[in-house]
Amino acid sequence: MNLESLDGRLLFAIPKKGRLHERCISILAGADIQFRRHHRLDVCLVVNHPIALVFLPASDIPSFVGKGNIHVGITGHDVILEAQMQGLVTEIMRLGFGKCALQVQVPESGTIKTVDDLAGKRVVTSFEVLSAEYFDAIDARVGLSGDRKTQIEYVGGSVEAACALGLADGIVDLVESGDTMRAAGLHAIATVLDSEAVLIKSSVPKHAHLAPLIELITSRIAGVVAANKYVVCQYNIPREQLHAATAITPGRRAPTISPLESEDWLAITSMVEKGKIAPIMDRLVAVGAEDIMIFNLDNCRV
């Protein structure tokens, strides 16, 4: 593709592979961003908006948004901090997927039980910046300096094998389910930070005429994220129990309250989080709610 054809378009960076890629494609579909990516091409044009999608390694996206010509992108909160781009990019919203924790891990059968025990020893990681900042604080607290400080060594992959292969006394690595960590005989002794996928933009607007399009895409993506997080809960409640019921289902801002033909009853409609729906329904039954129904959301605007 001739890069000159991208002039005037919003450049939107998407992780080209890895743990965030498939969910990003789903987000784009939900936001009605239509495109066809040809095999082996990392740039493609959106057919229904003046947008070009640029597929990049997730770890590179913060730099391209903060210092390059990319306007918006999706990446992990952790890689923004690792790339030290938090001053050059703005996190528009967290997207609710790709959740993981950057954790300090050591052999489960070993003698190291705390991060203080690991201070001054060898740590292997692919998050060199964050690990160095974390252990600098640990070293300072326990009084280590100079050659006695914790040794941070970078490796690009197979971090979890470093202890077993004699390269490290401990590692700092991302943990999602924890299966890989346990399979390597490791366990977590501290969490450096929690992370998830985020939508970002440059802190310094690059093209003023693209601001309305960025706002439109942000609104659409926020709707997709909310639809994945919430369901609609609808039920009938005796009027005297209205306060108790709305305390259980306050909605994102406020519930919708409608009168029924029976003056003693009201109909309530409210958005509730998917992960909390079972206990919420139990509590509604306890205060006298009837005809409780749950509806999934395909999309919404919030």
CATH number, position 104: 3.40.190.10
**What pLDDT sits at residue 177?**
87
* Same domain flag for 266 and 148: no
Q: Structural domain of residue 133, as residue ranges?
A: 100-195
CATH at residue 279 = 3.30.70.120
Q: How many DSSP H helices and E strands does the chain contain?
A: 9, 15
Domain boundary residue among 206, 239, 267? 206
In contact, 127 and 102? CB cutoff 8 Å? yes
* 215 domain residue, yes or no: no
* Same domain flag for 285 and 162: no
* 106 domain residue, yes or no: yes
Calculate ∠ Cα 125-113-108, nearest 5°. Answer: 70
* 217 domain residue, yes or no: no
* 138 domain residue, yes or no: yes
* 22 domain residue, yes or no: yes
Domain boundary residue among 145, 169, 195? 195
pTM as predicted = 0.85
* Same domain flag for 68 and 12: yes
* Same domain flag for 104 and 171: yes
* Same domain flag for 63 and 110: no
**What pLDDT sits at residue 39?**
75
* Same domain flag for 41 and 125: no
**What pLDDT sits at residue 123?**
97
* Same domain flag for 24 and 136: no
Which stretches of the chain drop beneath a pLDDT of 70? 1-5
* Same domain flag for 59 and 109: no
Residue with tokens 């690059």: 206
**What pLDDT sits at residue 8?**
83
**What pLDDT sits at residue 5?**
58
**What pLDDT sits at residue 3?**
53
**What pLDDT sits at residue 33?**
95
Helix axis angle, 21-30 relative to 211-229, nearest 10°? 110
* 223 domain residue, yes or no: no
- Listed in sequence order, the residues at least 6 apart from 52 whose beta carbon sits closer than 8 Å to its beta carbon are 6, 9, 10, 11, 12, 43, 44, 45, 46
What does the mean pLDDT of the chain come to? 93
- Listed in sequence order, the residues at least 6 apart from 245 whose beta carbon sits closer than 8 Å to its beta carbon are 235, 237, 268, 284, 287, 289
- Rg of the chain, C-alpha, whole Å: 24
Count up the domains in the chain and report the number: 3
